Amino acid sequence: MLVLINCFFAFSQELNCNIIVNSDQIEQTNQQVFKTLERALNDYVNKTRWTNREYTVNERINCNMLITVTSFDNNNRFDATLQIQSNRPVFNSTYETPVFNYQDKQFSFNYLEFEPLFYNSNTFESNLVSVITYYIYIILGIDADTFALNGGTDYFNQARSIVNLAQGSGYLGWRQIDGNRTRWELIDNLLSNTFSEYRQAMYEYHRLGLDLMAEDTQDAKENISKSIKLLGKLNNKRPNSFVLQTFFDAKADEIKSIFSDGPKVDIRSLKSILEKIAPLHASNWSDIKY
């Protein structure tokens, strides 16, 4: 009986997250601390219950985190970058669509080998745990938004609570004044009514677009085109916003693929919008032919 119970809970977690700690830039003979950290983070993320939902194995969110350590000292301080990427399955297909792809360059933390990783929702205790937990809730929220309009609000509120607790920690990335593309700015965009078109577009692009592709490709492509036009509307209000950057960093290759063949839609106006709101991906848009 115990075996059955343990198996159930082993598969009830929400995430299937692969975390890698890359220490190639560190000239240190003993690499064990980095391997220990990697194991501890994988256990923390994948064995913690983050929601009250029950997830089957097939429903678990596939994601990746790459921590590239750029410096490490004898005081157990790490400076690093953190690359986060998550996917979402598409209905009636074996395809997984990327929904979030971002690199956080303001990631420093203290970690003593073998120390337990524990998140306290009432106080700030560890920048390592706070940053990782913040992005877990971002991943959960964005994933939920692709299945239901504004479905990720509760998870985003959890991420905002982490930001609020971390404001006085002294670590970079938690405050508005810490520069562009901070954790503060990302959650502010996600929860602000000013950027509501982003969340609507995420829902329409995935649920009314990709998920219908096998059933009605023409209609699905029209809906995806409409969702991109929503982002054009957002860009008119807030050019070069954080959420627009993250959207196209994840989606540029996919959008090119969707509109490069199959049933035709109004490509001319769509390309004009894409070139305006995501000029960094101009090479993708030039491959889309009228």
Whole-angstrom Cα distance, residue 255 to residue 170? 40
Whole-angstrom Cα distance, residue 124 to residue 74? 23
User: What per-residue confidence (pLDDT) applies to 4?
Assistant: 34
pLDDT averaged over 10-residue windows placed end to end, the chain, 290 residues: 36 84 87 95 96 79 97 92 97 95 97 95 97 98 97 98 97 95 97 97 98 96 97 95 96 96 87 95 90
What b-and-e string marks burial along 221-258, b requiring 16 or more CB atoms within 10 Å of the CB? bbbbbbbbbbbbebbeebeebbbbbbbbbbbbebbbeb
Count other C-beta atoms under 10 Å from residue 138's C-beta. 25
Residue keyed to tokens 């990631």: 107
* Residue 169 exposed, middle or buried by CB count within 10 Å (0-12, 13-18, 19+): middle
Specify which residues 143 forms β-bridges with.
Answer: none
Whole-angstrom Cα distance, residue 83 to residue 67? 7
User: What per-residue confidence (pLDDT) applies to 10?
Assistant: 41
How far, in whole angstroms, is CA 273 from its chain's centroid? 24
Q: Which two tokens stand for residue 271?
A: 């390309």
Q: Which of 8, 2, 126, 138 is nearest to 61 (CA)?
A: 138
Do residues 83 and 249 touch, judged by C-beta distance below 8 A?
no
Q: Which of 38, 88, 29 is nearest to 63 (CA)?
A: 88
Specify which residues 16 forms β-bridges with.
Answer: 62
Q: Which two tokens stand for residue 274?
A: 């894409």
User: What per-residue confidence (pLDDT) applies to 121?
Assistant: 94
Q: What is the pTM of this model?
A: 0.93
Do residues 127 and 171 touch, judged by C-beta distance below 8 A?
yes
User: What per-residue confidence (pLDDT) applies to 3?
Assistant: 37
What's the length of the chain? 290
Residue keyed to tokens 């993708």: 284
